[in-house]
Amino acid sequence: MDSIAKLVLKRVGMGLVTLIVISLVFFVGVEALPGDLAEEILGQNALPETVEAFRKELKLDLPPHVRYFSWLGGFMKGDFGNSLANGRPIADLIGWRLSNTLFLALSAAAIAVPISIILGILAALYRNSLFDRAISMATLSTISFPEFFVAYILMALLSVQLIIFPSISNINDQMSLAEKLHAIFLPCLTLTLVVMAHMMRQTRAAIINILASPYIEMAKLKGLRRLRIIVLHAFPNALSPVINVVALNLAYLVVGAVIIEVVFVYPGLGQLLVDSVSKRDIPVVQASGLIFATVYITLNLAADVLSIVSNPRLRNPR
């Protein structure tokens, strides 16, 4: 048990170090942007006194290291500052947007994860059959196209030609759950098609690798059905790589949904990030980027911990 705790603490420590490095990269990247932020916002006709006063308000007169630690400390406390575009607290802007992004990601995961695992099990069960090749070809085809291309194809078919689902996935708090699910069906389907290939093929490969084990041969000699061997004996022992690929794709569903949110004008954190970049609202860009990084690292840490718990060889490295 102590070895598990040490491994988990080590993973958590590495995750915190990674997050600090990412925050430093964000800050340095913003500092490296050409031009003066105060002058860009106020315009070229602003008086020097006004620019100087605005620089002090933004704390741009302080040394970079002081501003970095002040920003990072505020982020850790949940204080992201105020938006330069509208003056509202960034926490208020991000809260609703982040919940929308998580809602879209979880909805896509609820469809993609079980379907991918079932298809992976069936592909391993009927290995090298026509079904296996057809599923592999279909999933690889969807992942080979850019996300926006898949999104526009689905939009043309299901929104323009058949007029079943809306092309603009706009949701609000007054909508019921069924109305929200109907509104986000197209972006949800797009994300599902994009991430299914990784999870399905990893599940298939992990199960096929386990099928070569001696205890599986013993189960076959005992006359157990192949489906029972795969579901009850092979799949539980293949959970570690499956958990890893599922967690990585869940992280992608949250972080990689930026393009999909822009295509479908979905009011998520990715759309807010793109809008803030166009307005040069630096505090919102920094906060949104660091939140995405935090979610990605957290899900990767969860994958590491679950892999350690589910894999006896990781629990007992000796």
pLDDT of residue 234: 79
Whether 191 and 276 map to the same domain: the answer is: yes
Token code pair at residue 252:
């992608």
- Give dist(CA 218, CA 222) in Å, integer: 6
- Give dist(CA 137, CA 197) in Å, integer: 9
Token code pair at residue 267:
């009011």
pLDDT winner (highest mean) among 13-27, 41-55, 206-220: 13-27
Mean pLDDT (the chain, rounded): 81
Whether 43 and 107 map to the same domain: the answer is: no
Instruction: Reduce the DSSP state of residue 283 to 3 states and report it.
Output: helix
Whether 145 and 277 map to the same domain: the answer is: yes
**Domain span holding position 46:** 2-77
Whether 155 and 263 map to the same domain: the answer is: yes
pLDDT of residue 148: 85
285: burial class by Cβ within 10 Å (0-12, 13-18, 19+)?
buried
Whether 261 and 303 map to the same domain: the answer is: yes
DSSP string for residues in 150-184: HHHHHHIIIIIIS--S-SS----TTS-HHHHHHHT
Q: What's the average model confidence in pLDDT over 228-248?
A: 79
Query: Is the pLDDT reported for residue 35 higher than 70?
Result: no
Angle of the 239-255 helix axis to the 282-310 helix axis, nearest 10: 170
pLDDT of residue 311: 63
Whether 285 and 140 map to the same domain: the answer is: yes
Residue 260 lies in a domain: yes
Q: What is the 8-class DSSP label of residue 265?
A: T
Last-in-domain residue among 44, 77, 110: 77
Residue 282 lies in a domain: yes
Q: What is the 8-class DSSP label of residue 82?
A: B
Whether 6 and 146 map to the same domain: the answer is: no
Longest dimension (CA), the chain: 87
- pLDDT tens across 146-187, in order? 888 888 899 999 888 888 888 888 888 888 888 888 999 999
In 3D space, the residue among 75, 86, 98, 88 whose CA is nearest the CA of residue 286 turns out to be 75
In 3D space, the residue among 41, 201, 194, 57 whose CA is nearest the CA of residue 122 turns out to be 201
- Give dist(CA 185, CA 164) in Å, integer: 10
Residue 49 lies in a domain: yes
- Give dist(CA 253, CA 109) in Å, integer: 8
When comparing pLDDT for 56 and 121, which is higher?
121
Whether 111 and 258 map to the same domain: the answer is: yes
Q: What's the average model confidence in pLDDT over 285-293?
A: 86
How many separate domains does the chain show? 2
Residue 266 lies in a domain: yes
